[in-house]
Amino acid sequence: MNVLLLYPEFPDTFWSFKHALKFILKRASLPPLGLLTVAAMLPRPWEKRLVDLNVRKLKDRDLQWADLVFISAMIVQRESAKALIARCRAAGKTIVAGGPLFTTEHERFSGVDHFVLNEAEVTLPEFLSDLEQGKARPVYTSAELPDIRQTPAPLWELVDLRRYASMCVQYSRGCPFDCEFCSVTAMFGHRPRVKTPAQIITELDGLWRRGWRGAVFFVDDNLIGNKRSLREELLPALIRWRQGGRGFAFFTEASINLADDEELMRMMAEACFDMVFIGIETPDDAGLAECNKRQNLGRDLVADVKRIQRAGLQVQGGFIVGFDSDTATIFRRQIEFIQKSGIVTAMVGLLQAVPGTKLHERLQQQGRLLGQSTGDNVDGTTNFTPCMKMEALREGYRSILKHIYAPGPYYQRVRTFLREYKRPKFSVSLDWRRMMAFALSSVRLGVLGRERFQYWRLLIWTFFHRPALMPMAVTLSIYGHHFRKCCEAIGV
């Protein structure tokens, strides 16, 4: 059996880093971890080939080779997935689809022969058994939450690592919190399930043996959801692994209560974590209460962010406008918070209602849904009728992006961050790609860009005040270029 695993193309979005990747000659930020893991669950004798349309085109000979096609996608890949399904259907292929997009809205897709939904550790074996017997059903679904200590390591050999800016692994699934707009707990439960440290080390060893030396993203929705296992099992194992002469720079996602645990932050920095994405959402307590973001309530969020930065972890932040409780002052307050906190990578989006969330259920009951969520956090759209007038909401949203990603405020925010940031103990090697990124940014941003004054001012300031952080200053300058391009695409 020849199995072709296909990953649809991402549109140009905030997290695609499309415009930034050109500076280091990479095609995509991350490989499709889900498909690589599913590939490891398929029968060993089967021949497997992966085509990530974000790094190369799907060729006719790929389809001719395949007996079976597997497609996985997220909501933001919806349109690309539809086109891919149509092409595979036209080629007469049997199509199997799974992943977040199809788990939430499989009934909207025609042309798929079999949907293998929810967590593959549960539904894929049943599908494979039925397929072998010639009686595979159209839909496989389950509410069971599997023990991921049995999940195999991804098949890294299916991808060309050189095409990607970062690699990825997963330690846990699930989150102890219950934010109204988030689908994580609906899909993966409240009690985080974890892999063993030995599994993670095996996955990292696999990357190391294949020559990977770049950054690795722990894709967990909340890495600190199970603090005990993180503190007592994973982090000590990562620290020991690094002491053996190996090591990657890690980044991940976590909740703001990370700021309360100095010891945990110290261990994360020692294990080579240097960046964390945190859902801040809003500085307004009414908005936080409305969306049940209780872990953020009653806190000095700016002080929390700075505490994490001083521990050696750059904070990337998620922000939302469009809550029912939002007033006209929220746009100014979001700008002030972002600038004061020094969160350079600030993803600000209009609230969207994703299927399977409590927000979607509530708005559906209220008759306020207008259509599907795009899955794009910063495309300036929403799929429900807000309490604030729609035009006022959109105009206020555009005003936030226009300000925070304008060269002046953006570069000011970079300096605010660099003043606070504690340099990590591990060093970042100045390889040829970083040197090339500096050379290209010097021309595109420092000579041709409208931000050229701010660009050189930042580099000169960094050289004299935080010289060890020069590579980071260049990287964040390039990120700013990407974010401004994204803003331009939505008319900001």
For 67-90, how does the pLDDT look when each residue is reduced to its tens digit (9 = 90+)? Answer: 999 999 999 999 999 999 999 999
Q: Please, are residues 214 and 166 in contact by the beta-carbon 8 Å criterion?
A: yes
Supply the CATH classification number for the domain 2-140: 3.40.50
Q: 142 phi and psi, to 5 degrees?
A: -160, 145
Amino acid at 196: T
* Residue range 219-235: mean pLDDT, rounded: 97
Q: Please, are residues 109 and 80 in contact by the beta-carbon 8 Å criterion?
A: no
Supply the CATH classification number for the domain 148-348: 3.20.20.70
DSSP 451: T
Which of the four pLDDT bands, split at 50, 70 and 90, describes residue 247?
A: confident
pLDDT of residue 431: 78
Indicate the burial class of 193 (C-beta count within 10 angstroms; 0-12, 13-18, 19 or more): buried
Q: What is the DSSP string of 323-355?
A: -TT--TTHHHHHHHHHHHHT-SSEEEEE----T
pLDDT of residue 430: 66
Indicate the burial class of 408 (C-beta count within 10 angstroms; 0-12, 13-18, 19 or more): exposed
Q: How far is CA 59 from CA 27, 50, 64, 94, in A?
A: 17, 12, 9, 17
pLDDT above 90 covers a percentage of the chain that reads 95
Give me the count of residues in the chain.
492
* Residue range 106-115: mean pLDDT, rounded: 96
Does 2-140 match 148-348 in CATH topology? no
The per-residue pLDDT for range 9-58, each reduced to its tens digit, is 999 999 999 999 999 999 999 999 999 999 999 999 999 999 999 999 99
Q: Distance (Å, rounded) from C-alpha 198 to C-alpha 213?
A: 20
**Residues ≥6 apart with Cβ < 8 Å to 486:** 12, 13, 14, 19, 378
DSSP 3: E
Whole-model pTM: value is 0.96
Q: Please, are residues 124 and 146 in contact by the beta-carbon 8 Å criterion?
A: no
pLDDT of residue 288: 98
**Residues ≥6 apart with Cβ < 8 Å to 333:** 283, 284
Q: CA 470, 476, 477 angle in degrees (round to 5)?
A: 90
Q: How far is CA 53 from CA 49, 73, 278, 314, in A?
A: 13, 11, 29, 30
pLDDT of residue 117: 98
The ranges assigned to domains in the chain are 2-140, 148-348, 432-489
pLDDT of residue 433: 83
Helix, coil or strand: residue 196: coil
The per-residue pLDDT for range 419-469, each reduced to its tens digit, is 999 887 765 566 788 899 999 999 999 999 999 999 999 999 999 999 999
Instruction: Evaluate if residue 303 carries a pLDDT over 70.
Output: yes
